[in-house]
Chain A
Amino acid sequence: MRILNNPAIIIRHLNYGEADRIVTFFTRDHGLLKGFARGARKSRKRFGAALEPFSEARLYWTEPTGDGLAALKEAELTDLHLGLRQDLDIISLASYACELVEGLIGEGHPHPEAFDLLKALLDHLNHNEPTWEARLLFEIRLITLAGYAPHFLHCSKCGITFSDRGIFFEAELGGSLCPQCLPGRKVLSVSLLTLGSLARSLQTPLTLFEGFRFSSQTTREAHAILEQILSLHLLHPLKSLSLLDRSMPLPSA
């Protein structure tokens, strides 16, 4: 049987039976996969800590069989991301990022840029404080890579470019809206500054997380916008949000 290998980030694992583990991992060139790691709980010879969540490793596996599980053969640890595991708030944000990848990219869709983005965030959180900027940048970039980018700087309906005042947002209608194109229901009112910040964060290299600073107003508006887009495209609410919301409350006005 052909053995594949690729850089991967471990998303989660589940103990199976006495000694085995089922591991969900995100590979750079083969997308999100589930694999069976025989003996991973009992013997540490073959896999060591490489199958722990947030670890980056080169994994070796054979293609999934009938049960949809790849058979994991070997793991070479690249980066344990030890710094990630020493702070509850960082764990919360990293878990959320992993779950968001599962939710937006899904199994079996290769997406190297999304892999690079997740890797960049984990590398960043390994040495830096968890910030709202990191969360929002990750969200908007992953949304964009998944193909769900909204219209930001011009009206989704009539295409007019915004000058200053009276800008609205409704993810379901494609993004930003001018006052003339409003639907008959309540939509988000947003500022050009926030839309500009979001648009700019897509013009830098997507793996860059340092050097961004959002005001508390921008943070709150951007969060409302991204939350709307995410709820439109995620099939179910993310479980990691309950811990993340406690760890990183929205900044007050």
Chain B
Amino acid sequence: MLNSISYFAKLVAELAKFPGVGQKTATRLAFFILTQPQEEAEALADTIRDLKRKVHFCPICFQMTESDPCQICADPRRDRNLLCIVEEPQDVLAIERSHAFKGQYHVLHGALSPLDGVGPEDLKIAELEERLQAGEIKEILIATNFSVKGETTALYLARLIKPRGLRVTRLAHGIPLGSDLEYIDQGTVGRAIEGRQEF
């Protein structure tokens, strides 16, 4: 009995590490798993194991992928002169849903946040500079969020990239200030890409 309680507590503790999940929610989730049929719970465990074994970040663009490099980086039809910079992997999904972008991506895995001490060295910015060094890229579309962190990152990147003589563009406005790309509808994202402006 004591053992079964400690297994339960262990799962609650693991689930409570998820972003935005507190003790209460973690307990509810653990209880849900406990009441599921055996196969369901094991399928969940297998899926988590497979995710960690098979999905990783693309060594070129840092998007999630099961292949190496990812499908977008490997696709010869995508424009190699045009690079779109986003904060998070889910932003690539948001832009792909709009079907308006035909270039390649670079995922920073975060945004500059002076108040939180998140600096350029915490993001995939050195890797971005390496890609630019290769010389194929002609235009950079900065698609960080329209929040203070996203704008800070955009300004930093523009300062870094412009001296290289590349064209630097930003998503057109129409995306309201303070919004995360993830939550914008695909039509608006598509229009913002087509109407991108010199930054």
Contacts and interface: CB of A to CB of B under 8 A. Distances in A.
A44 B119 CA distance: 28
17 contacts: A12-B115, A12-B116, A17-B21, A41-B183, A44-B178, A48-B176, A49-B176, A52-B147, A52-B148, A85-B151, A87-B155, A239-B114, A239-B115, A239-B117, A240-B114, A243-B112, A243-B119
Interface in A80-95: 80, 85-88, 91-92, 95
B177 interface: yes
A150 interface: no
Contact of B178 (A12, A51, A92): A51
Nearest to B20: A17
Interface residues of B, number: 22
Contacts, number: 65
B159 interface: yes
B71 interface: no
Given A44-B178, A243-B114, 5 more contacts: A48-B178, A52-B148, A86-B155, A99-B115, A244-B114
Given A88-B156, A95-B114, A242 B119 contact: yes
B137 to A, nearest CB: 22
B115 A41 contact: no
A92 B114 CA distance: 7
Interface in A210-253: 239-240, 242-244
Interface of A: 11-12, 15-18, 20, 41-42, 44, 48-49, 51-54, 80, 85-88, 91-92, 95-96, 98-99, 239-240, 242-244
Contacts of B117: 239-240, 242
Nearest to B149: A53
B180 interface: yes
A67 to B, nearest CB: 10
A240 B115 contact: yes
A88 B152 contact: yes
A91 B155 CA distance: 10
Contacts of A99: 114-115
A47 B123 CA distance: 29
A239 B116 contact: yes
Contact of B177 (A15, A52, A87, A243): A52
Nearest to B156: A88
A222 to B, nearest CB: 22
B179 interface: yes
A88 B21 CA distance: 34
Contact of B155 (A88, A240, A244): A88
Nearest to B180: A41
Which 8 pairs show the lowest CB-CB distances between chains A and B?
A239-B117, A17-B20, A49-B178, A95-B114, A240-B114, A88-B155, A49-B177, A243-B114
Nearest to A102: B115
A75 to B, nearest CB: 11
A52 B178 contact: yes
A53 B148 contact: yes
A44 B179 contact: yes
A13 to B, nearest CB: 9
A81 to B, nearest CB: 10
Nearest to A237: B117
Given A44-B176, A53-B148, A54-B148, A88 B159 contact: yes
Nearest to A54: B148
Nearest to B159: A88
Nearest to B18: A17
Interface centre among A11, A80, A91 (most CB of B within 10 A): A91
Contacts of A244: 114
Contacts of B152: 88, 91
Given A88-B159, A91-B151, A91-B155, A98 B180 contact: no
Contacts of A15: 20
Nearest to A243: B114
